[in-house]
Structure 1
Amino acid sequence: MSLQPARLPEPPRDILHKLMDAALRAADPAVQIPHNMPELPRGKTIVIGAGKASAHMARCFEQCWIAANGRDDIKNRLGGLVVTRYGHAAPCNHIEIVEASHPVPDAAGQQAAGRIFDIASKAGPDDLIVCMISGGGSALLALPAPGITLEDKQAISKALLKSGATISEMNCVRKHLSAIKGGRLALAGAKARMVTYLVSDVPGDDPAIIASGPTVADPTHQKDARAILKRYGIALPASAEKILNDPDFETLKPNHDCFAGNKTIMLSRPQGSLLAAAKVATELGLVPVILGDAIEGESREIAKMHAGIARQVAQHGQPAPKPCVLLSGGETTVTVRGDGGRGGRNAEFMLSLLLQLRDEAGFAALAIDTDGIDGSEDNAGAIMDGESWTKAQTRQIDLADYLDRNDAYSAFEKLNDLIVTGPTLTNVNDFRAILIF
């Protein structure tokens, strides 16, 4: 098997950006909302929700709803409230959009969650509640359980984010300490008919995990949340300990009456983005290999696994011949060491991958968070090719040191290899593409 790079139809970085663009287009919930409109109710249509994509979803729904039912009386019976991350708003004419903090909740999110809960509680049997739920909703829909303060909630969120816990583990804890998650929003709106639109940002696309499942049943128990906290050595304030040991404050299980007749519609999911990118890759003459849409684990370790598969392609033509692109999704995690640096899980994945492949010829890669924000910085992720290692050596950038300090953002900033898209108004989690040629 020849180790010489294969000819590509376009420069590697251009190809990677085309794959990324295809993945983001496929993740846009606006594509599916017009095909999944509910029946017109006799009463009001109340739109509520939370998440990074929720405002965009609400705007699309409003436009489609009015186009299909555009009488003045219908417009006058359309309203509601949706909370999204700062910078992710999409203006609506009839639905109120507010912004709050992510990934650590703030007072704006707490106030919005309380208002959303009240709106749902006041809906009647002739009304329709339409819930727009997407990733990020756990932090944005911050309504702590009785006795737990916002400060308690913030401290627990920060500890979980630094611990390396998976998204399913974090959301298990969150829903058991919340007055609105784990199906409790469905209970609040139980008098009305309810339809939930979902954009999945979780491995496996489990509705109970997306934004901690405010409108769906929860199969987990308080003991599961306690075990997770113990596993990661996270101490709780006394108020949270009390809630986690109160059998009367369990989340709502599938047999609860409040879920009867409710409908859940999945609009976008990670697999759809991977398939869209694979289609473009095939059109460009590349062999796409989808490694999985639900990959979890420590970012730097997942990068080592991807690097091993990439070398196998380059050296042995397995599991596919060159030119090939490895595609994957899911949500990796970062265990922050010490004070840590700047950067999210995708930049850390890319930095580890760059250290693994170093100056080997015939590789280029990209990794982003599909919401446009990797962690808490302004980048979606990072990109690299054969020149990246050379630039690092020439500029005397110690990449291993940056990785040790969880400072991948700064490393790629120095290399001018950050990817900045701005908020994409969707969120199907990580998208990774490794080109082998």
Structure 2
Amino acid sequence: MARVHLDDVTKRYEDIIAVNEMNLEIRDGEFVCLVGPSGCGKSTTMETIAGLTKPTEGTVTIGETDVTTLPPKDRGVSMVFQNIALFPHMDVYDNISFGLRLRKFDKDEIDRRVQEASDVVQLEGMLDREPNELSGGQQQRVAIARAIVRKPDVFLMDEPLANLDAKLRVHMRTELQRLHKQLDTTIIYVTHDQAEAMTMSDRIAVINAGELQQIDPPLVCYNEPANRFVAGFIGSPSMNFVEGELTGDGLTTDHFDLEFDPTDLDTAADDVTMGVRPEDIYLEREADSATSTSETIEARTDVLEPMGDEIFIYLSLDGASSEMMTSDEASTASNQLLMSVDPDTEIEADESVSVVLDRSKIHLFETASGTAITHGIAALSAQQSPAAGSSGVAPEAESGGQHE
């Protein structure tokens, strides 16, 4: 195992900054996912750690060694790519042992390592097969075994499951978690799939435009996002956002108001954005499920999407249709809210409904900077009138994220 440390790492390509002053600490034995939209710099960060890309500025340390100028072969890392890149003319044994044979390892040692690696990834009885005789998942296991036999200090995985079908991706996620526990080694995993990041990682590093936004355990990123970008990126469907203005009585938006005492908020901004996740919006008749309910909001149901285990309901706050909108677009439209309800809820499209928000799950962000102000306004409204309808007060959580 080994810790990995990036100190002010910047990578420029002429006038394009792919990675900007990245400071990242990955602990011994940790499984960290680098997540973000396409082009955000997560793969460039991975390649910088691997030595495939030299940083323009900054240093990369693996263990206690500054590896910034070392070639990939001397860094003690093994990499698994999205493109599995197996040799089609070699059988599984030769594919797995290829790197060891290049390094002139003894035949007995090669046999021992290949057998150990094939046992770990469950390739028993397949060592004499060729890649075209294997399924996609089996080929991915061969690629992982090829990395394991080198016994690296750090595993680097760049979207290794992206080319697999959905069912196999879920299976391989479980396999990778089991592998991490068995090998007890440091794994850095690049993905744009937040489900992979949420289910597999000890911590998630969220990157946008080459800058680290937050690095925290998955549920901290979900419940206490450091800024609006993290709040919108982590979670599917995305968090609802509604812009408004802070007043002496709370928050005022175009379609509803939230009453609370804003004096304790750590912000000088007047323009703020409220965020609330679909699962934290309730029909008024089911408000008992919320920890602390907001004022009633009148809306009209527009489109219903039954998902099996839940129903997504697009709510129109002004009667306008959300037709032709995606769930992400609807969640950011000022006149729309996306709500999720139980699958047995009796509700129809074009129905007038009253909804409430869970105050303990309402997030506030500065509109200009996107920085999180608070996560939950239940404590702020504790002394307000009974209109809040609180059935319990959840303490305000401080943001645990590191952000830039």
Same-fold call, TM > 0.5? no
Q: Report the structure, 1 or 2, having the larger strand content.
A: 2
Q: Which has the higher contact order (CA 8 A, sep 6+)?
A: 1
**Of Structure 1 and Structure 2, which has the larger fraction of its residues in helix?**
1
Output the TM-score relative to the length of structure 1: 0.30
Q: TM-score, normalised by structure 2?
A: 0.32
Larger radius of gyration: 2
